[in-house]
A = this chain, B = another copy of it.
Amino acid sequence: MPDSKEKILKTINRAEGGDLLSRRFDQFIMGLILLNVAAVIIETVEPIYEKYHPFFDAFEIISVIIFSIEYVIRVWACTAIEKYKHPVWGRLRYMVSLGAIIDLLAILPFYLPLVLASTDGRILRILRLFRLFRIFKLGRYSLAFNLIAVVLKKRRAELTVSLTLLLMLLIFASTIMFYVESEANPDSFKSIPQTMWWGVATLTTVGYGDVYPITPLGKFLAGIIAILGVGLFALPAGIIASGFESELSNQKKDKEEAKEEE
Contacts and interface: CB of A to CB of B under 8 A. Distances in A.
Interface of A: 37, 40-42, 44-46, 125-126, 129, 132, 135, 142-144, 147-148, 157-158, 161-166, 168, 171-172, 174-176, 178-179, 182, 190-194, 196-197, 200-202, 204-210, 212, 216, 219, 222-223, 226-228, 230-242, 244-245, 248
Contacts of A205: 204-207
Number of copies: 4
A37 B172 CA distance: 10
17 contacts: A41-B171, A44-B178, A45-B193, A132-B171, A144-B161, A144-B164, A157-B248, A204-B227, A204-B230, A208-B208, A208-B209, A209-B209, A230-B233, A230-B237, A231-B240, A234-B237, A242-B245
Nearest to A195: B44
Contacts of A164: 142, 144
Contact of A202 (B40, B125, B206, B233): B206
A73 B168 CA distance: 28
A249 to B, nearest CB: 9
A205 B236 CA distance: 15
A28 to B, nearest CB: 19
B210 A44 contact: no
A148 B165 contact: yes
Nearest to A226: B204
Contact of A40 (B175, B206, B235): B175
Given A40-B192, A132-B172, A172-B135, A244 B207 contact: no
